[in-house]
Amino acid sequence: MSADMLYEKDVTTNYLDGKKIAFIGYGAQGHAQANNLRDSGFDVIIGARPGKSWDAAKKDGFDVFTVAEAAKQADWIQVLTTDENMGDIYRESIADGLEEGNILGFSHGFNIYYGEIKPPKNVDVVIMAPKGPGNLCRRTYKEGFGVPALYGYWQDFSGHAEDLSKEFAKGNGAARAGLLKTTFKEETDEDLFGEQNVLMGGVTALIETGFEVLTEDGYSPQLAYFEVQHEMKLICDLIYEGGFNKMYADCSNTSEYGSYVIGPRVIGPESKAAMKQALKEIQDGTFAKNFMDDFRAGFPDLKKMRERSANSQLSQVGAELRSKMPFVNDADKYSTPED
């Protein structure tokens, strides 16, 4: 089912005016959204734990409180912590301070959709999900533009939840680029599916497999890295700018012909069947249960997979080559995530 794109001219209500907004979490999305909403003229405070986020928010000129204090003061509580911690933070520091008519806001539907958070019936529950990382949301806002966003609601106590979601997106700069209506189910299903099967899981598995095929047949690991990983950005940039047509137009006839002939053999019926199974496990909660079980056990599986990825030949060769590229030199400080 298609959806109509809305822009700033289409968001004409003012239900958000006069409301105090508390951002819970001041990471990539929290930092971007809080600054954007403040620059749009809204009353914004931050709820955080003492440490890096607290200090960053203070440095940026915000009034910073504990999560419980910020949530208690606010009319709108925008919860932007990590998915795995969000339920505990809500139960420990937000739930008891909610008042009738408050708005609970999210940028990903995971915790509401899978029941980790069960809000009371007398509050609005809305979603505003930017389709881009936090620093891009902030940068494009300051440039006078924005990134597109999804808007919608789970629960409409006030009768204005949808309008509130659109207004919040507009304040974030997203209506400059375009807004699409969604549901918590649709946003969660599609977001997880895209990450797992294409944007992250699919792309990284494809790169790793291509690297292994070349190196196992005796080709240079360094050349293999450039062929299957380094050039990926260049191809994705062309697709971002003008879709497949621009990408094919900017590449050789040889590469275009090979893409049409070989691509469907690599990503064929078996891959499609695996994607359908992955979608089913998102829809029925299997993935969410496995993820939360691993989190509650201390992330043993995630840590093993993280270590394997960080120590693979592909990662080591890539780090060595990138160390000689000044334009990406700082990137590898992120290659071994903290526990």
Q: What does the pLDDT look like over 168-225, one tens digit per residue?
A: 999 999 999 999 999 999 999 999 999 999 999 999 999 999 999 999 999 999 999 9
With a cut of 60, say whether residue 7 has pLDDT above it.
yes
> How far apart are alpha carbons 28 and 323 in whole angstroms?
25
Q: Is 107 annotated to bind ligand?
A: no
Across 282-289, average pLDDT: 97
Q: Is 252 annotated to bind ligand?
A: yes
> How far apart are alpha carbons 18 and 42 in whole angstroms?
8
Q: Is 195 annotated to bind ligand?
A: yes
Tokens 């290659």 correspond to 335
> How far apart are alpha carbons 247 and 173 in whole angstroms?
29
Q: How many residues in the chain?
A: 339
Q: Amino acid identity of 98?
A: L
Q: Amino acid identity of 191?
A: D
Tokens 């932007």 correspond to 80
What global pTM score does this model have? 0.90
Q: Is 316 annotated to bind ligand?
A: no
Fold of 8-182: Rossmann fold (3.40.50)
> How far apart are alpha carbons 302 and 44 in whole angstroms?
35
With a cut of 60, say whether residue 337 has pLDDT above it.
no
Token readout for 169 is 């997106």
Q: How far is CA 270 from each of CA 204, 210, 267, 279, 315, rounded to the nearest angstrom? A: 18, 17, 8, 14, 27
CB-based contacts of 208: which residues, under 8 Å, 6+ apart?
Answer: 312, 314
Across 44-56, average pLDDT: 95
Three-state SS for 3? coil
pLDDT grade, residue 328 (50/70/90)?
A: confident
**What amino acid positions are annotated as catalytic residues?**
108
Q: Is 141 annotated to bind ligand?
A: no
Residue 318: CA count within 13 A, CB half-sphere: 22
pLDDT grade, residue 338 (50/70/90)?
A: very low
Give domain limits for the chain: 8-182, 195-328
With a cut of 50, say whether residue 15 has pLDDT above it.
yes
In terms of pLDDT, which residue wins out, 337 or 260? 260
> How far apart are alpha carbons 25 and 90 in whole angstroms?
12
Radius of gyration of the chain (CA): 22
Q: What pLDDT digit, counting tens, does each position of 63-117 carry?
A: 999 999 999 999 999 999 999 999 999 999 999 999 999 999 999 999 999 999 9
